[in-house]
Amino acid sequence: MKRPLFLIAAICLILASCGKEPLAVTGITVRPTTISLEIGDKYTLQASILPADASNKEVSWRSDDTAIATVDPATGEVVAVRAGSTTITATTDEGGKTATCEVTVTETGQEPEPIADILPLIPDPVFRAYCEYCMENTTYTDFITGRKIEIAAWDRDGDGKLSSEEAAQVIIIEIMGDDDVEKLSSLAGIEYFTGLTHLNCMRNNLSSLDITKNLALIDIDCWANNLTSLDVSKNTALIYLACGGNRIESLDVSKNTLLELLECGSNELTSLDVSKNTALTFLGCNSNYQLSRLNVSNNTALIDLHCYGCQLTSLDISNNKALVYFSCEDNQLISLDISQNTKITLFNCQRNPGNGEKFVVKAWFDNESIPSGAPPTNPYDSYHFTKGSWTYYGDGETITIDYQKVI
C-alpha cells in the first residue's frame, strides 16, 4: 500500500527534528539602551535573544533601584517612581546572558537633558528607518496620493545623528502602512518629537500609541491599527482625529474642544460623549455595534453625521440645523424627525425596525414631494433620500418609509 506523500513528508520532518540539537543562547540585546522618563511614566523595553532562532527565549527583568524605577520581571514594563537614575537589566533564562538600559527619571515638567542621538532609542525598525531617511531627504512621495511632500532634512547640523533638539523641530510624520512593505509595530520614541503637529500612521500594526508628550498635535490619523485604547486628553490642540478601524473600547474627547472632525467608526465603543466638542462639523461613529446612545444636541455646527451600524434606539437632531449629510441606517430606530434639518441633501435610514410596518420620518416634505435633483444652494450636489421599503433583519418584516410633512 502506498503512503500519501504528505504523510511521508511529515515523518521526515519529525525524524529530522528529533536529531536536531537545540540552539543555545549566545547573547541578548535591549532596546533602547537609555531612556528618560518623568515620574509616573511607563515604558516597555524590548529584548532580543541571540541567535534569533534560539530555542529558549525566556527573559527576566530587574531594576537596580526600585525606589527610582520598577520593572515588571516578565514584560519589561518600566514605571518611573522618583527622580534619579537606575539600571534595568534583562537576563536570559539560559546561560544568564545580560543586557542593560540606563533609566533617568525627572520631576514632572522638568526639562530633560538633551540627547545627542535618539535613533538608538527607537526600537521599531520601520520607524527608525523612516527617521534615518528623513534625516537626509528633503522630499518624499506619499505612496497613496503620489504627491511630493516638502520637508526640511531632520539632521540640521549634518552630523549623522538625530538629536532630541532636532527631533523637537519636526512637525510632520507620515508612515502609512501598505501590504507590500513591513508595517509599524511601535512608535516608541515619538515622545522626542515634541513639536509634531501632524501624525499619520494609518494601516499599521500598532497595538498602543502614546502621544501624551506631543502637545502640539493638530491632526492624528491612526486609522486601521490594533489599538484598544487611545489617550488624547493632553492633546488639546487637536482639530482632526481619525482613529477608526481599531478595537478601542472607550474614547474621552472631553478635553479636545477644538475638534472639527472626529472619525471613530468601526471600533468597540459602548458610549461616546461629544457634548464638549461644539466645533465638530464631521462626526463618524458608525459600526460601533454596542453603541446604543448618542447625544448631539450641543453639536450645532455638524454638517456630516454618520452613525450607521450601531444600536441606537432614538436620536434627536433637532438642534443640528446645519446637517447636510446624515446616515443612520442599520440601527434600532423606531422613527425620526428631520423637520428642522432642511439643509440635508443625503439621508440614509434603511434597515431600521420602525414600528414593524412603517418607518415614520417627520420632515419638511411628504412622500409626494421628496426632494430630488440638485439643491438650490449647491448645483454640484444632488438630493438622495431613502425611499420605498426594506426587509428588517431582526424579524424579516418589510418596513416601508413614510415621510410625514410637519406643518
256-305 pLDDT, tens digit each: 999 999 999 999 999 999 999 999 999 999 999 999 999 999 999 999 99
| pLDDT of 7 above 50 | no
Query: What does the alpha-carbon distance between residue 344 and residue 346 come to, in Å, rounded to a whole number?
Result: 6
| pLDDT of 379 above 90 | no
3-state secondary structure of 8: helix
| pLDDT of 12 above 50 | no
Output the nine-digit C-alpha cell for 195.
Answer: 513639536
Tell me the HSE value of 133 on the side-chain side, using a 13 A CA sphere: 13
149-194 pLDDT, tens digit each: 777 899 999 999 999 999 999 999 999 888 778 899 999 999 999 9
**Cis before 120? omega within 30:** no
Rounded mean pLDDT of the chain?
A: 89
Give the model's confidence band at 142: pLDDT under 50 very low, under 70 low, under 90 confident, else very high: low
Percentage of the chain modeled with pLDDT above 90: 70
* CA torsion through residues 263, 183, 156, 136, sign: negative
For residues 61-70, give the mean pLDDT: 92
| pLDDT of 146 above 90 | no
Q: Are the C-beta atoms of 244 and 222 separated by less than 8 Å?
A: no
| pLDDT of 148 above 80 | no
Q: Which of 324, 328, 336, 337 is nearest to 377 (CA)?
A: 324
Strands 77-80 and 69-71: antiparallel
- Cell 450601531 sits on residue: 310
pLDDT number for residue 110 = 66
200 Cβ contact partners less than 8 Å away, ≥ 6 residues apart? 173, 174, 175, 176, 220, 221
How many residues are listed for the chain in this entry? 407
| pLDDT of 364 above 50 | yes
Which residue type is seen at 344?
I
| pLDDT of 394 above 80 | no
Query: What does the alpha-carbon distance between residue 60 and residue 46 come to, in Å, rounded to a whole number?
Result: 12
117 Cβ contact partners less than 8 Å away, ≥ 6 residues apart? 161, 162, 163
Q: Are the C-beta atoms of 383 and 372 separated by less than 8 Å?
A: yes
Q: Which of 195, 179, 182, 180 is nearest to 130 (CA)?
A: 182
- Cell 416601508 sits on residue: 400
Tell me the HSE value of 404 on the side-chain side, using a 13 A CA sphere: 10
Give the model's confidence band at 144: pLDDT under 50 very low, under 70 low, under 90 confident, else very high: low
Buried b (16+ CB within 10 A) or exposed e, 198-207: bbbbbbbebe
Q: Which residue has the higher pLDDT, 231 or 1?
A: 231
Q: Are the C-beta atoms of 100 and 88 separated by less than 8 Å?
A: yes
pLDDT number for residue 378 = 78
Point out which residues pair with 13 in neighbouring strands.
none
DSSP 360: E
Task: Quote the radius of gyration of the chain (alpha carbons, Å).
Answer: 27
| pLDDT of 3 above 50 | no
For residues 120-135, give the mean pLDDT: 94
| pLDDT of 8 above 80 | no
pLDDT number for residue 338 = 98
pTM of the model: 0.74
For residues 365-369, give the mean pLDDT: 96
Q: Which of 305, 334, 303, 329 is nearest to 386 (CA)?
A: 329
| pLDDT of 195 above 90 | yes
Strands 98-106 and 84-92: antiparallel
Given its phi and psi angles, is residue 354 left (phi above 0), alpha (psi -120 to 50 degrees) or beta? Answer: left
404 Cβ contact partners less than 8 Å away, ≥ 6 residues apart? 360, 361, 362, 363, 366
Query: What does the alpha-carbon distance between residue 107 and residue 88 come to, in Å, rounded to a whole number?
Result: 19
Give the model's confidence band at 16: pLDDT under 50 very low, under 70 low, under 90 confident, else very high: very low
pLDDT number for residue 205 = 96
Output the nine-digit C-alpha cell for 272.
Answer: 461616546
- Cell 439621508 sits on residue: 347
> In 137-283, where does DSSP find H-type helix?
164-167
**27-106 CATH choice from 3.40.50.460, 1.10.3720.10, 3.40.920.10, 2.60.40.1080:** 2.60.40.1080
For residues 95-105, give the mean pLDDT: 91
101-116 pLDDT, tens digit each: 989 888 877 666 789 9
Point out which residues pair with 89 in neighbouring strands.
62, 100
308-359 pLDDT, tens digit each: 999 999 999 999 999 999 999 999 999 999 999 999 999 999 999 999 999 9
Q: Which of 367, 325, 326 is nearest to 359 (CA)?
A: 367
pLDDT number for residue 123 = 93
